[in-house]
Amino acid sequence: MTVGEAQDFSRFFSAEAKARKSSPLKTCIHLFQDPNITFLGGGLPLSKYFPWDNLKVESPLPPFKNGIGHPPSGDAEDTCLVHVRRDETTKAGDTIDVPLSRALQYGHSQGQPEVLSFVREHTGLVHDMKYSDWDVMATTGNTGAWESTLRIFCEKGDTILTEQHTFSSSIYAAEAQGINVFPVPLDDNGIIPERLEYILDNWNPEAKKPKLLYTIPTGQNPTGSSLSDDRKAEIYRIAQKHDFLILEDEPYYFLQMDKYEQDVSKRKTTTFDSHADFIASLTKSFISLDTEGRVIRADSFSKVLGPGTRLGWIVASKQIVSTYVRLHEMTIQNPSGFSQSIVGGTLNRWGQDGYLDWLIGLRVEYNEKRDVAIDALHKYLPETPIFHVNPPIAGMFFTISIDTSKHPEFASKYLSKPELVEQAIYEKMIESGVLIVPGAWFKADGDTQPPQPAENKKELDPTRIFFRGTFAAVPLDKLQEGIKKVGVALKQEFQL
């Protein structure tokens, strides 16, 4: 299928982004590699003064026959050895490694060619892009990508839309820049498109309209919900109708699982006959629906390889990517060279197939963790409609939503205020030796100036609160033990 080019979205750029010039020094840095040029132009230290001569790291070898989570033995049959040398032997991009003389030098703000080419090919395989001039850029992960996004698109006083409960760092990063974070209600299947459309159709005409929707479509943090493909298409249509951009923050994209099956005898983990089958099983991304270039996708290696890699990437139109590159030239310059050498060297040896094998292996692990968590919730939570658990189909989080109005002392002790019940439950959990996190910590509740009509901020279920727990962080026995404590504490609190 032939696809068209992205549209020009420069009208959304902030004054800061429009004012930022490309650093002239960065425009000639590639000549540093040119043997015909005597490069006297920049403050680049000679690579022989980098103390590191070579770098060896071992990881397991695809196809990870015994699953992931087994350290390599060092033998060739199960060990992938990355040996990165100091010096370039061929032109940048012709080898599979980022040599240390280049990785540890200035330059390549967009990312090292060997990392970018892997990530580009991966993006093409997974997302079936619908316009031709897209590109990728290496980031320090999605936290940094979001901070850059705010700087590129938003001014003080602008409003962005987010899920009603969302990753608190993302809210605080926006608020710190004077940006209003306006909530959109969500349910077990993510943002409710009808509510989003209602809010925008009834937007107070005296207030600037939102430029951007920030969303975590898969394994949403904190609710654990995942947006269905139908809803994504609806939301994309609404973005076109009301002309805003979509930032999909997708660190949990590859932690997708089977639907939870309570009956253990019917439970089976899906296996895939081919990588194409695995890719076909994945939920559609916003970027794969995007025919215009109005979606920016932030991907991260944090949850699939390790948070300390501080490495991720964005996918967007070339116009938008180059605006991020100009910002990075003046802020982070680029993600760590060590990280790019190690991750790039590993992934280029694993190959696209090996990386997909790794992701399939992770899926198996998270399926099991999710099942153990939800089984334990069914076992230990008192059986009553007061409590609701939505078994996640992706990510690391489960939530227990609680109807506070059913608390025996809701009116007398807690003055009919759900937030007071929430605080009391939180304290009770700590007393019981378990930590789960109140949903209120993730609440977006900004408003425009002048404000939106009250109906736009209507709570769908005002007496319900929720707590977020994770099944990712502890071994399975500890997980069951923790959930038992939660069940006992809730039973006591609600006098059941």
Query: Where on the chain is the footprint of ligand PLP (CB under 6 A)?
Result: 141-143, 167, 216, 221, 249, 251, 300, 302, 307, 312
Q: Per DSSP, which regions of 364-422 are E strands?
A: 387-389, 397-403
Of 145 and 429, the one with the shorter C-beta distance to ligand PLP is 145
Contact call for residues 394 and 256 (beta carbons, < 8 A) = yes
Q: What is the 3-state secondary structure (H, E, C) of 157-194?
A: CCEEEEECECCHHHHHHHHHCCCEEEEECEECCEECHH
Of 134 and 397, the one with the shorter C-beta distance to ligand PLP is 397
Of 251 and 469, the one with the shorter C-beta distance to ligand PLP is 251
Name, in order, each residue with C-beta under 8 angstroms of 142's C-beta and a sequence gap of 6 or more.
249, 250, 251, 298, 299, 300, 302, 312
Burial 406-421 (b: 16+ CB within 10 A, else e): ebeebeeebeeebebb
Rounded to the nearest whole angstrom, what is the least distance from the CB of residue 446 to ligand PLP in the complex?
Answer: 18
Rounded to the nearest whole angstrom, what is the least distance from the CB of residue 201 to ligand PLP in the complex?
Answer: 28
- Residue at shortest CB range from ligand PLP: 141
Of 217 and 345, the one with the shorter C-beta distance to ligand PLP is 217
CB atoms within 10 A of CB 447: 16
Show the tokens assigned to 460: 């769908």
Rounded to the nearest whole angstrom, what is the least distance from the CB of residue 396 to ligand PLP in the complex?
Answer: 8
Q: Starting at the earlier edge strand, list the strands of the sheet with 464-470.
A: 387-389, 397-403, 464-470, 437-438
Of 69 and 307, the one with the shorter C-beta distance to ligand PLP is 307
- Find, among 87, 249, 238, the residue nearest to 163 by Cα: 249
Of 221 and 323, the one with the shorter C-beta distance to ligand PLP is 221
Rounded to the nearest whole angstrom, what is the least distance from the CB of residue 444 to ligand PLP in the complex?
Answer: 13
Rounded to the nearest whole angstrom, what is the least distance from the CB of residue 315 to ligand PLP in the complex?
Answer: 14
Rounded to the nearest whole angstrom, what is the least distance from the CB of residue 273 to ligand PLP in the complex?
Answer: 32
Of 312 and 344, the one with the shorter C-beta distance to ligand PLP is 312
- Rounded Cα–Cα distance for residues 71 and 75 (Å): 11
Of 411 and 435, the one with the shorter C-beta distance to ligand PLP is 435
377 residue type, one letter: L
Rounded to the nearest whole angstrom, what is the least distance from the CB of residue 124 to ligand PLP in the complex?
Answer: 21
Rounded to the nearest whole angstrom, what is the least distance from the CB of residue 392 to ligand PLP in the complex?
Answer: 13
264 residue type, one letter: V
Of 141 and 190, the one with the shorter C-beta distance to ligand PLP is 141
Rounded to the nearest whole angstrom, what is the least distance from the CB of residue 249 to ligand PLP in the complex?
Answer: 5
Contact call for residues 396 and 219 (beta carbons, < 8 A) = yes
Contact call for residues 350 and 358 (beta carbons, < 8 A) = yes
- Rounded Cα–Cα distance for residues 142 and 301 (Å): 9
Contact call for residues 486 and 469 (beta carbons, < 8 A) = yes
